[in-house]
């Protein structure tokens, strides 16, 4: 049971943000605002969405990418934060799980996700 005032406030926050429909296994590109001193810039963070959790304004996604020297990097992004400017779906993945934590133990070609082909 949630407070109706909080629900109305969250609906207003959610309406402002344009979040595409994606799920775990999809490769997403997030435009993240980075503040350095008094300057701000936008940097893209592209990787596989391995988990979505939460609801409303508390919803988060975990995005995993492979960095330098084959090191896996995971970041958790709140969906409705001001630091995420936009989210674009690069490719859709065909997976059978809601959470893809098993990708952490895989490397190379084994860690690839098949692309979902729409008919």
Each residue's pLDDT tens digit, 59-90: 999 999 999 998 999 999 999 998 999 999 99
**What pLDDT, on a 0 to 100 scale, did the predictor assign at position 119?**
67
Q: How far apart are CA 84 and CA 60, in angstroms?
A: 11
Q: How far apart are CA 82 and CA 100, in angstroms?
A: 26
Domain 4-111 has CATH 2.30.30.790: yes
Q: How far apart are CA 6 and CA 87, in angstroms?
A: 25
Band the pLDDT of 99: cuts 50, 70, 90: very high
**pLDDT, tens digit (0-9, with 9 covering 90-100), for 24-41:** 999 999 999 999 999 999
Under a CB-based contact definition with an 8 Å cutoff, are residues 27 and 47 in contact? Answer: yes
User: 0.75 cut: is pTM over it?
Assistant: yes
Chain-centre distance for alpha carbon 83: 13
């Amino acid at each position: 049971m949630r407070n109706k005032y909080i629900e109305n406030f969250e609906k207003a926050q959610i309406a402002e943000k344009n979040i595409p429909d994606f799920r775990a296994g999809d490769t997403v590109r997030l435009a993240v605002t980075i503040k350095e001193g008094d300057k701000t810039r936008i940097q893209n963070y592209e990787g596989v969405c391995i988990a979505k959790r939460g609801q409303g304004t508390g919803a988060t996604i975990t995005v995993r990418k492979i960095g330098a020297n084959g090191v896996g990097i995971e970041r958790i992004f709140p969906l409705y934060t001001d630091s995420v400017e936009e989210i674009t779906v690069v490719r859709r993945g065909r997976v059978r799980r809601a959470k893809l934590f098993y990708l952490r133990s895989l490397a190379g070609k084994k860690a690839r996700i098949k692309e979902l082909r729409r008919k």
